[in-house]
């Protein structure tokens, strides 16, 4: 990266923001004998249904899908039919042993408790890995993955696609330019969980479906009977009891609402405010409802306190989940839309659909290429275009567009408000809000955006989250959420998961990887492994 006058202007705010090799501290892989950008990667996937299907679809247009693995044939059926010639496995260990010479990179999109084991198996064999958020379920595992990526010199990416979005970078550049002054408080919120949490009883056992290998699904977790809660068809949220995604709410398998959405919603604050570089002074669950001995609560509020960093003051972050509407935050003018904006029928606004929205008057919404300089606002994918059908491959996410936002404000058509997700930065000179994936970044009140000009781009832009990973695998710059970036982010986030299971404020010493004021809470720093599922520890 050339050192410019702009770099010196931003000074200490950029310390650590643009390492020499890109977003991560790992140097470029070009000298390590990786593929030419024109060669196709041979990609495998551990997980083939649900989110894994979206990740596979993101890679498939340009790369080879050469092997698939899923413990449940029913969930994997769609991808198995689409890639009918690719070998199929239920045990990822067998896939990696048999197909090792045919695989360059592996997608890991399975329940959280199995991420680290699967990723380590891949990296030990020299395979690049794309691992779904929240990367892992414990802080020890996060450090193991980072150490393994360094040891085995592989490309990595966590699947928090908002980290690739234009709006996330705009958010950081607005904060660094000083447009809202010094930020001392951030609120982030989500409607999750959308699955059951806070249950107090586990239903009686049911027969294991013929399509599912229950022992492999449990993996490292302690053995327990399968149950579908007596259901033969999924509930209205698409779940039985543990599968296909209700596992997120269980201590043994997931990280609750925080683990599902914080890597998205807190991505922009993490980047803009250098949270991974700061000392965490304390973390506390200050409110929770619907508690359980084996599940996360139905809703919660978590407070993180961070030390000052450079010329940024101390910071407090509030995480709210289980919401039915956007939280009321002091200082926000009445009637302002925070986070994801509302939607019109047809897709304008909100989180958008998986297709292209329409601009006011029925015209097609402007694409990224044709609007890069429009009114100085960057890429004019107005509120209404989340990403195309292949999910996270092409689109840089939605950016604020004044004309389209006004169309929402002035519409006589009833607006549809999506479930509440987003974040709010509170500075001593103003406020800034972002959507779920760090998109539709805008000042509050929104009238300030009428003549606002985004800062000139300072951070490098991403070609798309999966594309970013593929480029790194072929010897390009490290991906924007590679494990040098993702592991420290996840480490402080997971302290909130531990706070949900502990009483009072937690104080944490990262050098010793130890909670210093609650000895009991330290048992949550590392998972227990069922015999036969341990992996080789990597020294950092």
| pLDDT beyond 60 at 433 | yes
When computed from its CA atoms, the radius of gyration of the chain, rounded to whole angstroms, is 22
Q: Which pLDDT belongs to residue 338?
A: 96
Query: How many whole angstroms separate alpha carbon 147 and alpha carbon 153?
Result: 10
Q: 319-332 burial by CB neighbour count: b if 16+ within 10 A, else e?
A: bbbbbeebbebeeb
Q: How confident is the model at residue 44 (pLDDT cuts 50, 70, 90)?
A: very high
Q: If residue 305 lies in a helix (H) or strand (E), which one and from where to where?
A: strand 299-306
The whole-angstrom separation of Cα 46 and Cα 219 is 13
> Which residue range(s) make up the domain with 100?
21-162+469-481
Residue 278 CB: number of other CB atoms within 10 A? 19
Find where tokens 């977003």 sit: 23
Segment 351-378 shows an average pLDDT of 29
Identify the three-state secondary structure at position 45.
strand
More confident: 537 or 386: 537
Distance CA(420)–CA(276), nearest Å, equals 26
| Segment holding 235, helix H or strand E | none
Query: pLDDT category, 240, cuts 50, 70, 90?
Result: confident
Establish if 48 belongs to a structural domain.
yes
From the list 136, 147, 115, the residue with the least C-alpha distance to 47 is: 115
Residue 223 neighbours by CB under 8 Å, 6+ apart: 215, 530
Closest to 383 measured CA to CA, from 366, 362, 361: 366
Round to whole Å and give the CA distance between 289 and 456. 44
pLDDT score for 537: 86
449 within domain boundaries: no
Position 33 pLDDT exceeds 60: no
Q: Is the peptide bond before 244 cis (omega within 30 degrees of 0)?
A: yes
3-state SS, 126-144, equals CCEEEEECCCCCCHHHHHH
| CA gap 195, 366 in Å, rounded | 36
Tokens of 462: 């991403």
Residue 121: CATH number of its domain: 3.40.50.720
Taking 70 as the threshold, does the pLDDT of residue 89 lie above it? yes
Q: Residue 540: inside a domain, yes or no? A: no
Distances (CA, A) of 206 to 15, 209, 214, 229, 250: 55, 9, 12, 7, 18
Distances 176 to 379, 445, 454, 458, 468 between C-alpha atoms, Å: 20, 19, 12, 10, 24
Query: What per-residue confidence (pLDDT) applies to 387?
Result: 34
Lowest mean pLDDT among 75-84, 251-260, 530-539: 530-539
The pairing of beta strand 128-132 with beta strand 105-108: parallel
Provide the H-helix boundaries in 178-233.
Answer: 214-218
Q: What is the pLDDT of residues 482-522, one digit of tens each?
A: 999 999 999 999 999 999 999 999 999 999 999 999 999 99
Decide: 472 and 478 in contact? Cβ < 8 Å.
Answer: yes
pLDDT reading at 129 higher than 80: yes
Cα(46)–Cα(68) distance, integer angstroms:
6
349 pLDDT tier (thresholds 50, 70, 90): low
42, 307, 312, 435, 519 from 315: Cα distances, Å: 44, 7, 8, 20, 26
d(CA 369, CA 217): 43
For 411-428, what is the mean pLDDT?
A: 90
Q: Are 43 and 64 in contact (CB under 8 A)?
A: yes
Residue 129 corresponds to which tokens in the numbers above?
A: 């890995």
Q: Which residue has the higher pLDDT, 17 or 245?
A: 245
HSE value, Cβ hemisphere, 13 Å, CA-based, for 348: 25
Cα(471)–Cα(473) distance, integer angstroms? 5
What gap in Å lies between CA 131 and CA 49, rounded to an integer? 15
User: Three-class SS string for 99-123?
Assistant: HHHHCCEEEECCCHHHHHHHHHHHH
Q: Is residue 391 part of a domain?
A: no
104-116: average pLDDT: 98
Residue 308 lies in a domain: no
- Residue 55 located in a structural domain: yes
> Mean pLDDT throughout 391-416?
76
Residue 303 lies in a domain: no
DSSP state of 326: P
pLDDT at 15 over 60: no
In a domain, 101, yes or no: yes
DSSP 8-state code for residue 447: G
3-class secondary-structure state, position 184: strand
**What rounded mean pLDDT belongs to the chain?**
86
Count up the domains in the chain and report the number: 1
Helix (H, G, I), strand (E, B) or coil at 64: strand
């Amino acid at each position: 990266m050339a050192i410019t006058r702009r770099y010196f202007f931003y000074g200490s705010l950029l310390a650590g923001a643009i390492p020499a090799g890109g977003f991560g501290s790992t140097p470029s892989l070009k000298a390590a004998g990786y593929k030419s950008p024109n060669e196709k990667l041979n990609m495998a996937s551990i997980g083939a249904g649900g989110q894994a299907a979206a990740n596979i679809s993101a890679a498939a247009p340009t790369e080879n899908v050469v092997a698939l693995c899923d413990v449940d044939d029913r969930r994997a059926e769609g991808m198995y039919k689409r890639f009918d010639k690719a070998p199929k496995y239920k045990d990822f260990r067998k896939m990696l042993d048999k197909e090792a010479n045919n695989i360059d990179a592996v997608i890991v999109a399975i329940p959280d408790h199995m991420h680290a084991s699967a990723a380590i198996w891949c990296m030990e064999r020299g395979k690049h890995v794309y691992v779904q958020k929240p990367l892992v379920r414990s802080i020890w595992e996060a450090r193991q993955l980072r150490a393994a990526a360094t040891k085995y010199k592989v490309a990595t990416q966590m699947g928090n696609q908002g980290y690739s979005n234009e709006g996330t970078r705009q958010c950081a550049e607005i904060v660094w330019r000083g447009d809202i002054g010094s930020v001392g408080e951030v609120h982030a919120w989500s409607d999750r969980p959308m699955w059951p949490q806070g249950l107090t009883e586990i239903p009686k056992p049911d027969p294991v479906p013929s399509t599912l290998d229950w022992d492999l699904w449990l993996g490292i977790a302690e053995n327990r009977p399968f149950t579908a809660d007596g259901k033969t068809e999924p509930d209205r949220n698409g779940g039985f009891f543990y599968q296909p995604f209700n596992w997120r709410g269980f201590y043994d398998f997931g990280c609750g609402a925080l683990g599902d959405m914080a890597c998205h919603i807190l991505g922009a604050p993490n980047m803009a405010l250098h949270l991974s570089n700061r000392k965490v002074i304390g973390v506390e669950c200050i409110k929770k409802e619907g508690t359980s001995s084996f599940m996360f609560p139905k809703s919660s509020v978590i407070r993180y306190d961070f030390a000052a960093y450079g010329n940024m003051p101390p910071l407090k972050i509030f995480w709210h989940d289980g919401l039915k509407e956007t939280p009321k935050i002091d200082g926000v003018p009445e009637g302002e839309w925070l986070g994801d904006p509302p939607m019109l029928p047809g897709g304008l606004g909100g989180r958008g659909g998986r297709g292209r929205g329409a601009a006011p008057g029925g015209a097609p919404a402007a694409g990224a290429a044709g609007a890069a300089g429009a009114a100085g606002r960057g890429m004019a994918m107005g509120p209404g275009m989340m990403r195309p059908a292949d999910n996270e491959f092409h689109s840089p996410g939605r950016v604020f567009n004044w004309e389209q936002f006004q169309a929402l404000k002035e519409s006589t058509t009833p607006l549809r408000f999506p479930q509440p997700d987003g974040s709010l930065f509170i500075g001593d000179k103003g406020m800034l809000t972002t959507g779920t994936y760090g998109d539709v970044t805008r000042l509050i009140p929104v009238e300030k955006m009428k003549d606002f000009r985004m800062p000139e781009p300072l951070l490098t832009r991403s070609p798309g989250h999966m594309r970013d990973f593929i480029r790194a695998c072929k010897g390009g710059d490290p991906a924007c959420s590679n494990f040098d970036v993702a592991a420290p982010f996840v480490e402080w986030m997971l302290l909130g998961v531990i706070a949900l299971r502990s009483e009072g404020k937690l104080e944490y010493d990262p050098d010793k990887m130890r909670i210093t004021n609650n000895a009991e809470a330290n048992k949550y720093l590392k998972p227990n492994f069922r015999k036969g599922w341990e992996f080789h520890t990597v020294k950092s």
